[in-house]
Amino acid sequence: MAFTMENALFNKYELERLLGCGVFAKVYHARDIRDGQSIAIKVINKKRLNNNVNLMENIKREISIMHRLNHLHIVKLFEVLATKIKIYFVIEFVKGGELFAKVAKGQFGEDLSRKHFQQLISALSYCHSCSVYHRSLKLKNLLLDENGDLKVSDFGFLPVTEQIYPDGLLHTLCGTLESTNRILSSKMKK
């Protein structure tokens, strides 16, 4: 389909290609039609949330927290837009892809591993200083930019200090939807 202002998302963004899919969202490479900048847009279909209040609260919390975070090694949220059926996160496009792909190809030496580990620790230390705890760190949520620097992404399961109970524990689920469902299923069987 040829690009026209009529098919521009909010008269601002041109969706180009699908980068990845999750249970609730798809992520697209896009261009800001005002300045040509590459960005990524995470599209959440509200119907997939099945009117689940907890999932909607997770999304609201993710938006709130991502707006607060500003660190060199954390993917930047530029804005959030919505329609009746979809939510759009306009985020920094991280050109290098997932760290998972690089590790799977065996493209890591000790020096590069040390560099990425230091960048990860810097990002996590910053998050913790803001009372934010990622809880879904995995190679697929660690991206590399065009300079080979690490960027932490996917803050969908973030708890905040207010969710820490008097026993010092977080009483919220975390991880991927599949692992959460396995935990809940095994508890139900007992």
Greatest CA separation for the chain: 57
- 86 marked as part of a ligand binding site: no
Helix (H) or strand (E) holding 58: helix 53-68
Closest CA to 179 of 136, 132, 145, 125: 136
By three-state DSSP, how is residue 103 classified?
Answer: helix
Residue 98, C-beta contacts closer than 8 angstroms, at least 6 positions apart = 139, 140, 142, 143, 144
- For residues 75-106, one letter each, b for 16 or more C-beta atoms within 10 angstroms of the residue's C-beta and e for the rest, the string is bbbeebeeeeebbbbbbbbbebebbeebeeee
CB 81 within 8 A of CB 41: no
Residues within the annotated binding site for ATP? Answer: 42
Residues within the annotated binding site? Answer: 42
